[in-house]
Amino acid sequence: MSSPIDEDAPTLATVAATSIGLLSDATGPEVGYPGLDGTGDVEDVLAALSRMAGDLQQTATQLTRYLDDEVAAGHLTRAPGSTDQNARTVAAAMHALTDVQENARTLARLLTTAETAMLALRPGG
């Protein structure tokens, strides 16, 4: 793949979703956990997923800002009572993105907690 700046956001989101699907396959019991070879691997996966959750939070924040900018530019409206059909849709999307930000923050915290707990399984831990 080229530099991320050379790719459009939907393409990168598709790559990310595909990667998570492959990760799910690599950690699946039905095929003998092919991508895991010890608790250190679990720790590494948890650390990477925690970083991903932080990045997901940032992406949701940036998508919210984009929608704000589109509203400010007059391309979209979210004003309550607006006759514009997009108002409810934009408001719902912005509310959902706020929820994504909060949930991604929680996910990152929980993944870090799980990773920290895994440290106790290290020899001498």
DSSP 60-123: HHHHHHHHHHHHHTTS----TT-S-THHHHHHHHHHHHHHHHHHHHHHHHHHHHHHHHHHTTST
Does 3 share its domain with 24? yes
Does 43 share its domain with 20? no
| pLDDT higher at 19 or 91 | 19
Radius of gyration of the chain (CA): 19
Q: For the chain, how many structural domains are there in total?
A: 2
Does 55 share its domain with 75? yes
Mean of pLDDT values over 19-38: 93
Domain that holds residue 14: 1-36
The pLDDT, as a whole number, for residue 74 is 82
Does 16 share its domain with 54? no
Does 75 share its domain with 23? no
pTM over 0.75: yes
Confidence check: pLDDT of 22 > 60: yes
d(CA 25, CA 42): 14
Does 100 share its domain with 68? yes
Confidence check: pLDDT of 87 > 70: yes
